[in-house]
């Protein structure tokens, strides 16, 4: 179980607790009102149904956010893999091979800059000796 799954589960549990806390408080207030005023029993089923609908909407929103976070992580991993392949192809075209140390350095740079493509390109160019051309030039 990874951190995103734990985070999503805790968010769902928090929503559930919030929804049921309000229900319990509402029931307690309702019972006090019933005892004090001796009226016919109120219809809590409608209130409960509305609360459950809100909870379902919040849980669905949390699930959607969780799926987007997973997708973004997968895309970042794919970009990192593509960057490594591109660096290796560049070195292969020059008849050079990446030694283990340089490969670790490249992986470290990719990992540190995976969400910033311009910084990633600049740092890889510095590390590999390639020419860095900023976007739009």
Domain residue ranges in the chain? 3-128
10-residue mean pLDDT profile of the chain (137 residues): values are: 85 79 79 73 77 94 94 87 82 64 80 78 76 68
Region for residue 95 given its phi and psi (left: phi exceeds 0; alpha: psi -120 to 50; beta: otherwise):
left
The pLDDT value recorded for residue 136 is 62
Give the model's pLDDT for residue 103: 78
Which pLDDT value is given to residue 1? 64
Query: What is the pTM for the complete model shown?
Result: 0.41
Q: What pLDDT, on a 0 to 100 scale, did the predictor assign at position 66?
A: 94
Nearest to 81 by CA among 124, 110, 119: 110
Q: How far from 56 is each of 14, 63, 88, 127, 130, CA to CA, in Å? A: 13, 10, 48, 50, 52
Contacts 24+ apart (CB under 8 A), 57-66: 58/15, 59/12, 59/15, 62/8, 62/11, 62/12, 62/15, 63/8, 65/8, 66/4, 66/5, 66/7, 66/8
For 129, phi and psi rounded to 5 degrees? 85, 10
| The residue to which tokens 């740079």 are assigned | 109
Question: Taking the CB of residue 109, how many other CB atoms lie within 10 A of it?
Answer: 21
pLDDT value for 52: 93
Q: ∠ CA 31-13-4 to the nearest 5 degrees? A: 170
């Amino acid at each position: 179980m990874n951190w995103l799954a734990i985070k999503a589960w805790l968010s769902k549990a928090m929503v559930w607790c919030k929804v049921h806390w309000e229900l319990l408080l509402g029931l307690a207030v309702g019972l006090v009102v019933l005892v004090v005023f001796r009226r016919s029993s109120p219809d809590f089923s409608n209130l409960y149904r509305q609360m459950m609908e809100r909870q379902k909407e919040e849980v669905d929103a949390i699930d959607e956010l969780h799926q987007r976070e997973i997708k973004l992580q997968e895309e970042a991993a794919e970009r990192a893999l593509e960057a490594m392949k591109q660096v290796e192809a560049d070195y292969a075209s020059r008849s050079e091979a990446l030694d283990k140390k340089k490969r670790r350095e490249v992986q470290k740079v990719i990992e540190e800059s995976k969400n910033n493509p311009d910084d990633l390109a600049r740092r890889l160019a510095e590390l590999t000796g390639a020419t860095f051309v900023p976007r739009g030039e």
